[in-house]
Amino acid sequence: MEKYLPTLETKRLIIRPISMDDKDYFFATDSQAEVHTFLNKEPVQSIEEMEKVIAFIQQQYEKYGIGRLGVIEKSSNQWIGWTGFKYIDELENGRIDFLDLGYRFRVESWGKGYATEAALACMQYYREHLTHFELHAITHTKNEGSRNVLEKVGFQITEEFYFDRWDIHCYWYDLVEQSVQS
Ligand SMILES: CC(C)(COP(=O)(O)OP(=O)(O)OC[C@H]1O[C@@H](n2cnc3c(N)ncnc32)[C@H](O)[C@@H]1OP(=O)(O)O)[C@@H](O)C(=O)NCCC(=O)NCCS
């Protein structure tokens, strides 16, 4: 398994591994109530909670050579959110042991195409280095912004399911190319 952790660069973004030094920036995103509208509605409440999340991400770096990555806006050199892959090792929609593509951005940076730009860079990295992992994504059925991102970068809805851990109704996405092959 490849353990190299990437730093990806796009026209407007740097997408790079997350360290404990990022905890305040990470908190500034994950504590925003709007960011959680279509998640489990539990914004992060404290820096200590954020440290646990970063420790979990760093475990994924060690164990699987992948994990969520921080997104820096080049023009301001500011953290604006995170994206990338999470290795799912608990049942989701009856599946386990796959990668999930995800992202959360600070409200101030929505609507600028950043989520799509970052997800495209992740997808290119997936195709070049990670195709030995199965890849899926999920969104709340009403999360139109996220649905748009996923559809633009090559996913399609194949199922609808109830995500019991978060008590929300979700769409399940497969890669278009994988659905065509199977
Ligand atoms: C989901 C999220 C990343 C989308 O960010 P974004 O800044 O809107 O993304 P982009 O600018 O790349 O835009 C994606 C597309 O969705 C569209 N879109 C964004 N919000 C929308 C909405 N509420 N309704 C309909 N379309 C929407 C955009 O117009 C864009 O389409 P276009 O390029 O054809 O105009 C952002 O809203 C977010 O961080 N939300 C909180 C966390 C979250 O829900 N993460 C996803 C969990 S599954």
Residue 163 lies in a domain: yes
Residue 121 lies in a domain: yes
- Token pair for 35: 């960011």
**For the segment 40-74, what is each residue's pLDDT rounded down to a tens digit?**
888 999 999 999 999 999 999 999 999 999 999 99
Chain-centroid distance of CA 56 in Å reads 14
Q: For the whole model, what pTM was predicted?
A: 0.93
CA of 113 to the centre of ligand 1 (A): 8
Distance CA 125, CA 129 (A): 6
- Token pair for 65: 């050579």
List own/partner pairs for 171-178 with CB under 8 A and 24 or more apart: 171/138, 171/139, 171/141, 171/147, 172/93, 172/136, 172/138, 173/136, 173/137, 173/138, 173/139, 174/136, 175/135, 178/134, 178/135
How many domains is the chain partitioned into structurally? 1
Residue 1 lies in a domain: no
CATH code for the domain of 82: 3.40.630.30
Residue 72 lies in a domain: yes
CA of 63 to the centre of ligand 1 (A): 31
Residue 64 lies in a domain: yes
Ligand 1 neighbours (beta carbon < 6 A): 35, 38-39, 103-105, 110-116, 139, 143-146, 148-149
- Name which residue sits closest to atom 33 of ligand 1, judged by CA: 113
pLDDT of residue 171: 98
Residue 31 lies in a domain: yes
Residue 3 lies in a domain: no
Average pLDDT, the chain: 94
Pocket test for ligand 1, best of 10, 79, 123, 146 (most atoms within 8 A of CB): 146
pLDDT score of 182 more than 90: no
State percent of the chain over pLDDT 70: 96
Residue 36 lies in a domain: yes
